[in-house]
A and B are shown apart, each in its own frame.
Chain A
Amino acid sequence: MRRDHELHGRRRGRNIGVLAALIGFAVLLFLVTIVKMGGQAGNPWG
Chain B
Amino acid sequence: MTQVTPDFSLADQPEAEFRDYITLLKPRVMRLVVFTAIAGMLAAPAATHPVIAVAALICIAVGAGASGALNMWWDADIDAMMERTSARPIPAGQVGGEEALGIGIGLSILSVGTLAVVANPLAAGLLAFTIFFYAVIYSMWLKRATPQNIVIGGAAGAFPPMIAWAAATGEIGVAPILMFLVIFLWTPPHFWALALFRTDDYTRVGVPMLPVVAGEPATRRQIWVYTLLMVPTPVALAFTDAGGPLLLIVGLIANVAFLKGAWAVSRRSAEDAAADRYRAEKKLFGVSIAYLFAIFGAVMADAVLHALVPGLPWPVLI
Contacts and interface: CB of A to CB of B under 8 A. Distances in A.
Interface of A: 1-3, 5, 7, 10-11, 13-14, 16-18, 28-29, 31-32, 34-36
B18 A35 contact: no
B52 A35 contact: yes
Contacts of B49: 35
A17 to B, nearest CB: 3
B30 to A, nearest CB: 14
A17 B55 CA distance: 19
B18 A5 contact: no
B117 to A, nearest CB: 8
- Among B7, B15, B16, B49, the one with the most A-chain Cβ atoms within 10 Å of its Cβ is B15
Interface of B: 2, 4, 6-7, 10-11, 15-19, 21, 49, 51-52, 55, 58, 114, 117-118
A11 B51 contact: no
B94 to A, nearest CB: 9
Contacts, number: 42
Nearest to B59: A28
Nearest to B16: A14
Contacts of A7: 10-11, 15
Contacts of A32: 51-52, 55, 117-118
Nearest to A14: B18
B15 A11 contact: yes
Given A17-B19, A17-B21, 8 more contacts: A1-B2, A2-B4, A7-B10, A10-B16, A14-B21, A31-B51, A34-B51, A35-B51
A8 to B, nearest CB: 8
B5 to A, nearest CB: 9
Would you call the interface of chain A mostly helix, strand, loop, or mixed? helix
13 contacts: A3-B2, A3-B4, A5-B6, A7-B15, A10-B15, A13-B18, A17-B18, A17-B19, A18-B21, A28-B55, A28-B58, A31-B51, A35-B51
Contacts of B17: 10, 13-14, 17
Nearest to B118: A32
B2 A5 contact: no
A5 B7 contact: yes
A31 B53 CA distance: 12
B65 to A, nearest CB: 12
Contacts of B11: 7
A11 to B, nearest CB: 6
Contacts of B15: 7, 10-11
Nearest to B94: A10
A14 to B, nearest CB: 5
Contacts of B55: 28, 31-32
A34 B50 CA distance: 13
